[in-house]
Structure formats: C-alpha cells, structure tokens
C-alpha cells in the first residue's frame, strides 16, 4: 500500500500498472500530471488472510490549496510472493466524500 501511495505521489504509471491485479486493471490512464499534492498516508488496518489481504487507509492530499482525504478499504492478492491491488471500496460515512474528491481530481486534470 505504501509503495502504491508513493507511486501516485510521483505519477509513476508503470509501477501502478505493475502492482495492479490484471483482472481488474483499468484500460484508462491511472495518473495524470495534475496539481494534486499528496500530504500523507495513514494505514488504519491491515487484515491478512493467506494469499489475500485487506488494507484500510486514509490518504490526505491538496488540490488548489484545498485539503481532501481519501478513505478506502483496499483488497490485495499475492501471486508468486508479490502483492497486487485488486479493488477498493469506501466506508459508508466517507463514500459520498470520496466520490466528490474523485470528481474534483478528474476535473483538475
């Protein structure tokens, strides 16, 4: 999770694609040269389950000087000793805020 956060902050498309489960990897570009300033990552929970795991995190960032947060529960799977991102969901309380943040991120590109 931490390495993927760093990849987002560095706009490292290749790394994000290399660490995304090919079954759920989107076709569209994952990162863009945009004004997003990533401010920090807090891992709230890590739940291992054999060859899969769940990570709950909060990532803080700024766009145009305004602070935002992304609260996600991500699923990962391990193949050949390497972890791959599968997908994520948003806790009920933060789902609406996450959708607004994603829309703002897209619109700022």
Domains present along the chain, CATH in parentheses:
2-107 (3.10.450.50)
Give the DSSP per-residue string, the chain.
-HHHHHHHHTT-HHHHHHTB-TTT--SS-S--S-S-EEEEEEEEEEEEETTEEEEEEEEEEEETTEEEEEEEEEEEEEETTEEEEEEEE--HHHHHHHHHHHHHHHHT-
Determine the pLDDT at residue 109: 46
- Its pTM stands at 0.80
Identify the residue with better confidence: 102 or 74: 74
- So what's the pLDDT on residue 98? 55
pLDDT reported for residue 52: 98
Report, as an integer, the average pLDDT of 79-85: 96
Q: Residue 103 — pLDDT band, cuts 50, 70, 90?
A: low
Average pLDDT, the chain: 87
């Amino acid at each position: 999770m931490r390495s993927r956060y760093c990849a987002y902050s560095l706009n490292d498309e290749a790394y994000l694609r290399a660490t995304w489960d090919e079954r759920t990897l989107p076709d569209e570009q994952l990162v863009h040269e945009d004004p997003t300033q990533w401010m920090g990552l807090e891992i709230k929970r890590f739940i291992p389950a054999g060859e899969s795991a769940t990570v709950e995190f909060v990532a803080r960032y700024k766009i145009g000087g305004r602070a935002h947060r992304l609260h996600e529960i991500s699923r990962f799977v391990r193949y050949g000793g390497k972890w791959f991102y599968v997908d994520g969901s948003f806790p009920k309380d933060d789902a609406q805020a996450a959708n607004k943040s994603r829309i703002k991120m897209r619109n700022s590109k």
